[in-house]
Structure 1
Amino acid sequence: MKTRLYSYLKYTGAVLFSFLLLFACSKSEVPREEPVPLEPTENGQLVLIASATDIDENEEVTFTVMVDGKPIEADVYVNNEKINNNKHVFAKVGDYEVMAKKNNYKDSDKAVVEVYKIDIYVSGIQNTTANDASVTQAMLWKNGKLLYELTDGTSFAATVGIALHNDDVYVVGTEARGYTRVAKYWKNNTAHILTDGSNSATVADIAVDYRGDIYVIGTDSNPHKPVLWRNKVPHTVAATNDGRYARAIACSGNDIYIVGNSSSYANTPSVAMLWENSQEIHLTNGVKAGRALSVTVENEDVYVLGDEKSKGLNGQGGQEIGRYWKNGEVTLLDEDPTTFIGLVGGDIAVQDGVVYVCGVWNDGTTTHSVPVVWKNGKRLYKLTEGTSNSAAVAIAVGGKDVYAAGYESNSKGKPVVKVWKNDKLLYALTEGDRRALPSGIAVKRSK
């Protein structure tokens, strides 16, 4: 009896355990219900988001429509015309109103896309024939096409700088008259003479202030000292400036900024200099040869591009180490004394405190120096692969894009003038049958 009762209890316990185990397993196997995503509420407010609202002609904008923080398919209208999808290329200048619509939802607020026109001007020279010794003509290109032949090709001409003011473009240079060079500038296609040709003149740059006053900077040959023409009237730059070379000029408000260097760069160590309204400021100390080559001003901050030798006067070899100064504080482009930084013909541009510099660079890994753009002192990109002679000569900023003018020699050894937009070739300005070189670039962004 005791044995049978024990067996019964044992059997009953096993059944009960199995039941509990089955119940537990069954409970755990009940699938969890996933939360169902909530659809955007009908009659909700559409919100239109544009990938950009400040663009240039022929740029594309992508539109996203949201409701309650979630994307939704909706129709997008540009100036009350429905577009095919959520992307649109704006081909013409103007202000465009964009809105999203969908049945049973509230229309989005209007977004305004502002579309600007970019005009790119490049100054330079081109030989009249395939012979590199032939007469050079002063040229001006606009948006990839020849705008003006500034000289007729009967005497040697050169251009050195370009400036814009309102709807006018100014180019400065020289033209031969007998055995001398006459300084002049062109306003659009009209020449204005600065010197009479009794002595050769050297000019370096041009600037136009907010009033439309025209400033040209150059250097007298005997003795070497800067000369500033304001509306064709010559002025001395400073009271004691013999043995000085002027290289560039910029205007800001009522202030004039001129840069250059003392003495001859090839002889004794020269000093990079800035003249601010005739006040001479030394940017280098003269222990190593230095130059100031270009200048620009933004929001009362003065930026000067230049270089300094990596070794002193008695040091053999050495390279020019490129740099720029912001209000006298220096930023080096490359500290490696074995790396060549060529800034003759290089340029500086600033937008919203971001500094762009163009020039040439060579670390010995390419046959030729490579045109390079730096951003805030760091190499940003190169413009060619260095397989032929090439250089970046001038730089400008238009909107969010950086434009550089330079040249690259073709298989015939002829330099071809080119324009790059950021790191991509935008177009070539010359065909390569004759030697051609750029001297400046200016970009106008307008509506």
Structure 2
Amino acid sequence: MKQLLFILFIISLLVSSGCNKNKTDDNSQKLGLLALAIPQPSTGSSTTTTTTTTTDVYSGGYSSNSSGIPVAGYWKNETWTGLTPLDTSKSSMVHSMVVSGSDVYAAGFSTNSSNVPVAGYWKNGTWTAVTPQDSTKDNRIYSFLVSGSDMYATGYRTNSFDVKVPGYWKNGTWTSLTPLATSKDSRIYSIVVSGSDVYAAGYSTNSSNVPVPGYWKNGTWTGLAPLDSTKDSYVVSLAVSGSDVYAGGYSTNSSSVLVAGYWKNGTWTAVTPLDSTKNSSVYSIVVSGSDVYAAGYSANSSSVQVAGYWKNGTWTGLTPLDTSKASIVYFNSMTVSGSDVYAAGYSTNSSNVGVPGYWKNGTWKELTTLDSTKSSYVQSIFVTTY
């Protein structure tokens, strides 16, 4: 109604001015203004803004050089970055990769000139050793994370009695965790921070010399029931989702077969192997929404280790380079980013060389090595999107 009144008002102005024949050109201009003043119907079109997402894949591990020495480093997408070791004639490896903001962390160990593996990490290429229990003994980092401004690293330290002692470093300061038996080895393969809680998972060997699977939450040990209490069982990867704790690994049954599976809040769930008489293991567990991914390997009837993962208990085998050779998804080397599933490790080729790479949604991505005749592995994967 308002539009109609507005139009009538404009027309009345034109009529009154049109009484003068000498103003014909002026009236034409006013009619042009009238056409511009009347709102035009919408065509239904709209402007669409396209958002471009960039994904970077960081794959940490090692590449063996022509001398067969493992060199620590990582691939960003497909480009290799070697990390300076303590001694170029000794082995070094990355076991855990984290990207936080513009900083790239690669944690593991580097062997010194005394042939002692030293635990530490490279931040943007610069090496930082963490404090050992005995500087003449083996120390390693298996799992690393950044939470806020804090850095957590875990694995083990070896004491003067050659016992591997469990614990973790927070910002370089060591926190010891109580083992089942102080004279027996313990190792931690996975660390998770959830809120104010710190979880460190792996195994602790009891007085009967049997490795017991479990985790420490804020320093308190929780043992997980194995299939056979006289056989070894490990937790290799841990995930926390809300109030639920998932611990992935394996448990050895009474037939001495490694059975892949996970404990959810202490309850064991075995996942179906390719052959129940052969070994299988979960090396990485990820919870995404309501889905549980458990990755590792399952040996087939020919005893060949086949890389793959179970999603909610259903197996997905990952195509190897050679079906007669081993391939594995490595420790804590699976991640889910949006709708994409990444599983990293290695696949052995027909020349019996371990080739590093990862599978994205089942498709293999091979990574270049320092020497294609030497074995190299991916041992950690981290995906960023921006």
Q: Equivalent residue of 2:352, what SS? A: coil
Structure 1 partner of 2:175: 235
Helix, strand or coil at the partner of 1:153: coil
Q: Which residue of 1 aligns with 2:92?
A: 157
> Structure 2: how far apart are the matches of 1:264 and 1:165?
37
| Corresponding residue to 2:218 among 277, 288, 298 | 277
Q: Which runs of 5+ in 1 are unaligned?
A: 1-102, 312-316
Q: Residue 296 of structure 2 contacts residue 308 of structure 2 at CA under 8 Å; is this kept in 1?
A: yes
The answer on whether the counterparts of 1:310 and 1:337 sit within 8 Å (CA) in structure 2 is no
Shift of 1:390: 2.0
Kindly provide the amino acid, as one letter, of the partner of residue 270 in structure 2.
L
**Are residues 209 and 435 of structure 1, via their aligned partners in 2, closer, same or farther at CA, if it must alter by over 3 Å?**
closer
Aligned partner of 2:311 in structure 1 is 375
Counterpart residue number, 1:225: 165
Is the aligned partner of 1:398 residue 2:337? yes
Deviation at 1:435, TM superposition (A): 2.0
Matched residue type, 1:375: K
1:201 corresponds in structure 2 to 138
Aligned twin of 2:35: none
Q: TM-score, normalised by structure 1?
A: 0.68
Q: Which whole-Å deviations, capped at 9, do the CAs of 1:4-40 have from their partners, x for residues lacking one?
A: xxxxxxxxxxxxxxxxxxxxxxxxxxxxxxxxxxxxx
Structure 2 equivalent of residue 339 of structure 1: 278
Contact kept, 8 Å, 1:119 with 1:443, in 2: the verdict is yes
Contact 1:171–1:206, Cα closer than 8 Å, also in 2: no
Give the root-mean-square deviation of aligned CA atoms.
2.7
Query: How far apart are the structure 2 equivalents of 1:339 and 1:155?
Result: 35
- Tell me, in whole angstroms, the C-alpha distance in 2 between the residues paired with 1:303 and 1:368: 27
Q: CA deviation at 1:104?
A: 8.4
SS where residue 386 of structure 1 aligns?
Answer: coil
Quote the offset at 1:195 in angstroms.
3.4
Contact 1:225/1:241, CA 8 A, preserved across alignment: no
1:168 aligns to 2:108 (yes or no): no
Counterparts of 1:239 and 1:368, CA distance in 2: 35
User: Is the alpha carbon distance of 1:264 and 1:224 closer, same or farther for their aligned partners in structure 2, counting shifts above 3 Å?
Assistant: farther
Q: Deviations over 1:29-52 (max 9, x none)?
A: xxxxxxxxxxxxxxxxxxxxxxxx
- Deviation of 1:239 after TM superposition, in Å, equals 7.6
CA drift of 1:318 comes to 2.6
2: CA distance between counterparts of 1:427 and 1:135? 20
Shift of 1:144: 1.2
* Mapping 1:13-412, distance limit 5 Å: 106-107=43-44, 114-129=51-66, 131=67, 134-151=68-85, 153-177=88-112, 178-195=114-131, 198-221=135-158, 222=161, 223-238=163-178, 242=182, 243=184, 244-263=186-205, 268-285=209-226, 286-311=229-254, 317-334=255-272, 337-343=276-282, 346-364=283-301, 366=302, 368-384=304-320, 386-393=323-330, 394-412=333-351
TM-score normalized with structure 2 length: 0.78
Taking the TM superposition and a 5 Å limit, the aligned residue runs for 1:429-444 are: 429-430=368-369, 432-444=372-384
Q: How many residues matched?
A: 332
Change (3 A) 1:168 1:179: same
Single out whichever of 104-113 and 250-259 deviates more from structure 2: 104-113
Calculate percent identity across the aligned residue pairs: 25
CA contact (8 A) 1:174 1:203 kept: yes
Q: Offset of 1:373 from its aligned partner?
A: 1.6
SS at match of 2:304: coil
CA positional deviation for 1:291: 1.1
**Alignment check: 8 A CA contact 2:344 2:378 kept:** yes
Residue 356 of structure 1 aligns to a residue whose secondary structure is: strand
Residues 318 and 359, structure 2, Cα contact 8 Å, conserved in 1: no
- List gaps (5 residues or longer) in structure 2: 1-39
Tell me which structure has the larger Cα radius of gyration. Answer: 1
CA contact (8 A) 1:406 1:438 kept: yes
- Alpha-carbon distance, 1:213 to partner: 0.9
Higher relative contact order (CA 8 A, sep 6+): 2
For 1:413, the equivalent position in structure 2 comes to: 352
Cα deviations across residues 246-300 of structure 1 (Å, max 9, x unaligned)?
Answer: 22211222221111112189x8432211111111111125354321111122334
Code of the aligned partner of 2:380:
G
CA spacing shift, 1:342–1:429, aligned 2, 3 Å: farther
CA distance, structure 2, for counterparts of residue 283 and residue 111 of structure 1: 53
The CA distance in 2 between the partners of 1:145 and 1:249, in whole Å, is 28
SS in 2 for 1:120: strand
Deviation at 1:191, TM superposition (A): 0.7
Matched position secondary structure for 1:206:
strand
The residue aligned with 2:15 is none
